[in-house]
Amino acid sequence: MTSRYPTLLSPLDLGHTVLRNRVVMGSMHTKLEDRLSDLPKLAAYFAERARGGVGLMVTGGYAPTWRGWLAPFASRMTTARHADAHRVVTDAVHEHDGKILLQVLHAGRYGYHPFTQGASNRKSPITPFRPRAMSTRQVERTVHSFARAAQLAQRAGYDGVEIMGSEGYLINQFLAARTNDRTDAWGGSAAKRMRFPIEVVRRTRDLVGDDFIIQYRISLLDLVDNAQSWEETVELARELQDAGVSLFNTGIGWHEARVPTIVTSVPPGAFAWVTGKLRKEVTVPVVASNRINRPEAAEQILAAGEADLISMARPLLADAEWVVKAAEGREREIITCIACNQACLDHTFQNKRATCLLNPRSGRETELVLLPTRTVKNLAVVGAGPAGLAAAIELAGRGHRVSLFEASDEIGGQFKLAARVPGKEEFARTLDYYRHMIDVRGVTLRLGTRATAEELAGFDEVVLATGVRPRIPEIPGVEHPKVLTYQQVIDGAPVGDRVAVIGAGGIGFDVSEFLLHEPHEPLDDWMRRWGVTDPETAPGGLATKVKVAARREVYLVQRKTTALGKDLGKTTGWVHRTTLKDSGVTMLRGAEYQRIDDEGLHLTVGEKARVLAVDTVVLCAGQLSVRDLVTPLQERGVTVHVIGGADVAAELDAKRAIKQATELAASI
Ligand SMILES: Cc1cc2nc3c(=O)[nH]c(=O)nc-3n(C[C@H](O)[C@H](O)[C@H](O)COP(=O)(O)OP(=O)(O)OC[C@H]3O[C@@H](n4cnc5c(N)ncnc54)[C@H](O)[C@@H]3O)c2cc1C
Ligand SMILES: Cc1cc2nc3c(=O)[nH]c(=O)nc-3n(C[C@H](O)[C@H](O)[C@H](O)COP(=O)(O)O)c2cc1C
Ligand code: SF4
């Protein structure tokens, strides 16, 4: 059978070694790196991906000195003891013919601790700690520490290292005038600012010899002011190549940049063009990165000559078998990363282990194990939202006989609504995956069937995943025809030009986006809206933002006095807030609702009475669990498990729903 992905799945000869395909698993700090005692779990995590066919993997960032830590006691590679402990990881990967690089990352002023050092003492806007400027001697020692970390990685059995030169960490802090005001040999001109990474690579190559991969993650778009020009980036790349780099990986945007680079609303493949620009300037292979999650897209980027390899970080967190599924023509079985960040990057910021919303086994390979069942049961799952879908396919995967009841004529529940929100279009892939897996695993799907206690009583056990319904707040006039629930709006009910959205949780934000913008925004429009441009025309690729005309006048209102959107994800909330602000949405907090009538929504904000003269009021005021089958089933003596929104009606919590479903499936 000829592959649909001839380039993606073709080997790449690096001279001293051959990569079995063009798929790179990008670096992700999962928190399993931080303690040596967790390395067997990290080994299992990488082993699954090596078994799944990934060509080359990169670990999360390891600091080359303790001052270079991302956070106190985070991962570092500084002693022979560390190196020897890593054998378990490299052996596990090699056993499955994979290859793995250790990422060396010095956080510089991004270190979240009081002992940070930087090229200068300029504080970053995203951490509370002011770094100390390194002395000339400290700079030299730090250069050596990078090379020493690489040497230790070699001792540990790694196939190479990735040197982290992007996202605003120490290396960028040397490269950019905005963070380097040194007057010694390491600053003062573009050439002197480049010296640090060039020396790092040169000394690393000297210590590790020729037969060891040095991948350098180069910042192609800094997306901050006073950053590198494209000429400087090209000059740097050429110097690094001469110093011994084997491959270039792409880095996009410093962490302090106010341009989204990895969230769902970033169009897939958004930055491949800039990797393509670099590819024309160097002779070593280059890797495209960020928001590439499907095999067709990866193949297209390679076929267009924009890159030699494709990095996927979160997509391979979501599905360890991504490569083998693509190779075998089982694309619809791929759990496609939807770039929600909810269980990966948001966890990192909460100091929790990274996993995946869609795949709770990820990062817990040795802990959440779904084995074939010894006692086949006849099970009913009620509700085909994320909780019921995950429960049904995982139970069937273990060998149980599963019937899945869904009252409506489509699967998806609330998640189906999410997929219609502009910027969340990819959520539809999740539903396609479940639709397909229902067939693959032989689940009996009964659409358009509202399950009753009588028919459910015949099953061995029942999983209730009946989800949530919108909560209707007690506001006089709430029954006025201009009032709609979020569900009615997203289902297509007519909405006027001026709208008040009651409730500024995740759904309130999403409904506002739904009312303001068209889905499937073209890449060019997205770039203009966020001020992303060709770095040849503006240093760092940062241009002035262009406003997009909003389709409606929207008021987003909440009772709470806290900032709107405060409870949205740490890594995604600011994107939603900025989008709505840029679209002219009026945000009101501390509102007391008085009534709704022909005039509009009457409220008081502080002591002041106001009328929002709107045509439509949309209720996004929370949800209630649907649990009407619990008692009738229990009265019949049926074993009932309640999961997902039916258990706890939390907003935007498919993560909890799917995790609970998968854990339940492992236990029945
Ligand atoms: C606009 C919007 C955006 C969202 N965005 C996100 C997001 O970005 N991230 C996130 O994590 N979450 C998001 N969510 C929330 C997420 O969709 C829910 O947390 C999730 O769907 C809850 O899953 P569930 O399976 O428990 O319930 P539901 O999705 O409510 O599904 C329950 C299903 O049960 C069916 N049912 C009920 N009673 C019966 C019965 N007696 N017989 C048969 N079927 C029955 C219903 O028809 C429904 O299909 C969003 C929700 C909305 C509305
Ligand atoms: C949980 C998490 C941790 C990450 N840690 C690192 C890291 O340690 N070093 C690094 O270079 N990039 C890190 N990244 C960024 C990824 O390498 C990658 O650039 C980003 O996720 C976008 O690519 P993707 O869409 O393929 O996931 C991390 C990303 C996530 C989600
Ligand atoms: S949690 Fe969301 S962003 Fe992270 S890997 Fe899973 S689907 Fe992708």
Is the Cβ–Cβ distance between 477 and 596 less than 8 Å?
A: yes
Burial 428-455 (b: 16+ CB within 10 A, else e): bbbbebbbbbbeebebebbeebebebee
Q: How many CA atoms lie within 13 A of 524 on its CB side?
A: 0
d(CA 252, CA 291): 11
d(CA 4, CA 296): 8
Which sign does the torsion angle of CA 240, 243, 248, 250 carry? negative
* Ligand 3 site-directed mutation target among 293, 337, 429, most atoms within 8 Å of CB: 337
In DSSP terms, which residues pair with 160 in a beta bridge? 101, 213
State which residues of the chain have pLDDT below 70.
Answer: 1-2
Q: What is the 3-state secondary structure (H, E, C) of 281-311?
A: CCCCCEEECCCCCCHHHHHHHHHCCCCCEEE
Starting at the earlier edge strand, list the strands of the sheet with 639-642. Answer: 444-446, 401-405, 378-382, 461-464, 639-642
Which sign does the torsion angle of CA 233, 235, 238, 243 carry? negative
409 burial (CB, 10 Å; 0-12 / 13-18 / 19+) is exposed
Query: Measured from the CB, is residue 19 less than 6 Å from ligand 2?
Result: no
Q: How many residues does the chain have?
A: 668
Q: Ligand 3: distance of its center to the CA of 279 in Å?
A: 29
Is the Cβ–Cβ distance between 292 and 269 less than 8 Å?
A: yes
d(CA 48, CA 163): 24
Tens of pLDDT, residue by residue over 144-200, are: 999 999 999 999 999 999 999 999 999 999 999 999 999 999 999 999 999 999 999
d(CA 138, CA 207): 19
d(CA 39, CA 160): 18
**pLDDT more than 90, % of the chain:** 96
Placement of tokens 């290859």 in the chain: 99
Starting at the earlier edge strand, list the strands of the sheet with 600-605. Answer: 591-597, 600-605, 608-612
Ligand 3 atom 6 nearest Cα: 356
Placement of tokens 């991302």 in the chain: 70
Q: Ligand 3: distance of its center to the CA of 511 in Å?
A: 22
Name which of 338, 311, 323 is nearest 48 in CA terms.
323
Write the DSSP string, 490-545.
HTT----SEEEEE--SHHHHHHHHHHH--SS--HHHHHHHHTB--TTTSGGGB---
Placement of tokens 């054998």 in the chain: 87
Tens of pLDDT, residue by residue over 579-598, are: 999 999 999 999 999 999 99
pTM: 0.97
Catalytic entry in 169, 216, 486, 555: 169
Phi/psi at 4 (nearest 5 deg)?
-80, -5
Across 222-260, where does the E strand assignment appear? 247-252
Query: What is residue 650's predicted lDDT score, i.e. its pLDDT?
Result: 87
Q: Are strands 378-382 and 18-19 parallel, antiparallel or unpaired?
A: unpaired
Q: Ligand 2: distance of its center to the CA of 26 in Å?
A: 6
Q: How many helical (H) and strand (E) elements, i.e. helices and strands, does the chain have?
A: 22, 27
Atom of ligand 1 nearest to the CA of 468: 30
The CA-atom distances, in angstroms, between 14 and each of 22, 23, 418 are 12, 14, 44
Is the Cβ–Cβ distance between 355 and 455 less than 8 Å?
A: no
Outline where 102-189 has alpha helix (H).
Answer: 136-156, 170-175
d(CA 9, CA 55): 9
Q: What is the 3-state secondary structure (H, E, C) of 356-389?
A: CCCCCCCCCCCCCCCCCCCCCCEEEEECCCHHHH
Q: Ligand 2: distance of its center to the CA of 216 in Å?
A: 15
d(CA 269, CA 521): 13
Ligand nearest to the Cα of 387, by number: 1
Phi/psi at 440 (nearest 5 deg)?
-60, -40
d(CA 418, CA 416): 5
397: number of Cβ within 10 Å:
18
Torsion of CA 67, 72, 74, 75, to 10 degrees: 30
Atom of ligand 3 nearest to the CA of 344: 4
d(CA 287, CA 592): 53
Placement of tokens 């699954």 in the chain: 48
d(CA 206, CA 244): 9
Ligand 1 atom 15 nearest Cα: 652
d(CA 446, CA 468): 20
Name which of 405, 396, 600 is nearest 496 in CA terms.
600
- Paired tokens of 328: 């075998």
593 is an active site residue: no
Write the DSSP string, 264-277.
TTSPTTTTHHHHHH
Tens of pLDDT, residue by residue over 423-438, are: 999 999 999 999 999 9
In DSSP terms, which residues pair with 401 in a beta bridge? 378
Query: Measured from the CB, is residue 289 less than 6 Å from ligand 2?
Result: yes
Name which of 548, 556, 570 is nearest 603 in CA terms.
556
Query: What is residue 651's predicted lDDT score, i.e. its pLDDT?
Result: 83
